Structure 1
Amino acid sequence: MDCRVVVEAAVPVYDVSTADEAVRIAISKTGEMLNPDLNYVEISMGSRTSPGGEELEPVFIVADEALVALELEMTVFNVEREEHASRIARKEIGQRLRNIPLDVLEVEIIESDDEEEADADEEGDGDERGDGGEEMLPEFDDLLE
């Protein structure tokens, strides 16, 4: 079974004055820590909500220092169950992002049936071309005669 795992990271950023600047620096800093070993991890801006359910910016700035919420998404292959996938993702990402808190937000099973259907569709396309090719062969033979 394959799973897509989304992990939330709280990345500290120093000497920033705006939320946009903090997000850009946090994404860059995280990318540097993950690359080249985990260049397949997708980094995006996270989301936060207040206890009342109100949407908040993913950045908290105090005294020119910020804490930025980022979402890191990766696919984990050949796992036994969702808990196994989340442990693998936390370990792989956590080894490179030292001293950065991580929390698993979502684990989604990637259906292998879709891949089988896609393979069947590709084979079906090939069969259709073969049928079309057989129809074309008599026309080609007619041209030779």
Structure 2
Amino acid sequence: MDCRVVVEAAVPVYDVETTDEAVRIAISKTGEMLNPDLNYVEISMGTRTSPDGEQLPPAFVAADEALVALELEMSVFNVEREEHAARIARKEIGQRLHDIPLKVLRVEPLEDGEDHGNHGNGDEGGDGGDGGSNHDRGDDRDDGRDGDGSDGSDNGDPDAEGDAEDDLLPEFEEMVEDER
């Protein structure tokens, strides 16, 4: 399964006077921290609402410092569950955005043909995406689905593919444990 994950980040910005300036600097700062390793992550302004449901600007400025809400979107490939995709995205983004709080907002499964335009970006820079399925993302994605996806899914190969994913999941879990 492939998923699109949206993560909210609270980015601090210093020496700013307006919310527009804070947002521009926060996007630039976040882009610098993510690139070149995660250049396929899309960065956009986040949305904030008051407890009453009133729409608020994406940045809060006080004493020439701001806290900016940004949304970071990335595709995660070859995962078994949505929770797995969320953990991978949060880990990959969190490794590059030190001391910036992150919260997974939503995980949306992608259809087979959906998001094909971004697969090249995800495959190029995404080889570090989940640690355990690095070669699968390039090999299975290009060979199994793009060229003959129907053959792989109709001939009983999903069991073999599922076993490959099961083998990868423990490796990922071990990596998470090692990081703690």
TM-score by length of 2: 0.63
Hey, what's the Cα distance between the residues in 1 that align with 2:81 and 2:7? 17
Secondary structure (helix, strand or coil) at the match of 2:12 reads: strand
Say whether residues 1:15 and 2:15 are aligned partners: yes
Q: CA deviation at 1:113?
A: 6.2
- Deviation readout 1:55-85 (Å, 9 max, x if unpaired): 0001001100000000000000000100000
Hey, what's the Cα distance between the residues in 2 that align with 1:80 and 1:87? 12
Q: CA deviation at 1:119?
A: 8.0
Secondary structure (helix, strand or coil) at the match of 2:33 reads: helix
Q: Which residue of 2 aligns with 1:2?
A: 2
Q: Which residue of 2 aligns with 1:95?
A: 95
Hey, what's the Cα distance between the residues in 2 that align with 1:98 and 1:64? 22
- Deviation readout 1:20-71 (Å, 9 max, x if unpaired): 1000000000000000000000000000011111100010011000000000
Secondary structure (helix, strand or coil) at the match of 1:79 reads: coil
Say whether residues 1:33 and 2:33 are aligned partners: yes
Q: Which residue of 1 aligns with 2:67?
A: 67
Hey, what's the Cα distance between the residues in 1 that align with 2:24 and 2:88? 27
- Mean Cα deviation higher: 104-113 or 36-45: 104-113
Structure 1 residues 34 and 113, CA, compared in 2 at 3 Å: closer, same or farther?
closer
Q: Structure 1 runs of 4+ off > 4 angstroms?
A: none
Instruction: Give matches, 1:62-141, under 5 Å.
Output: 62-112=62-112
Secondary structure (helix, strand or coil) at the match of 1:28 reads: helix
Question: Comparing both structures, which one devotes a greater share of its residues to strand?
Answer: 1
With a CA cutoff of 8 Å and minimum separation of 6, indicate the structure with the bigger relative contact order.
1
Residue-pair matches, total:
118
Question: Comparing both structures, which one devotes a greater share of its residues to helix?
Answer: 2
Say whether residues 1:47 and 2:47 are aligned partners: yes
Q: State the Cα RMSD in Å.
A: 1.7
Hey, what's the Cα distance between the residues in 2 that align with 1:50 and 1:104? 19
Unpaired runs of 5+ in structure 2? 117-145, 149-180
Unpaired runs of 5+ in structure 1? 121-145
TM-score by length of 1: 0.78
Structure 1 residues 111 and 62, CA, compared in 2 at 3 Å: closer, same or farther?
same
- Deviation readout 1:121-141 (Å, 9 max, x if unpaired): xxxxxxxxxxxxxxxxxxxxx
Q: Percent identity?
A: 80
Secondary structure (helix, strand or coil) at the match of 1:84 reads: helix
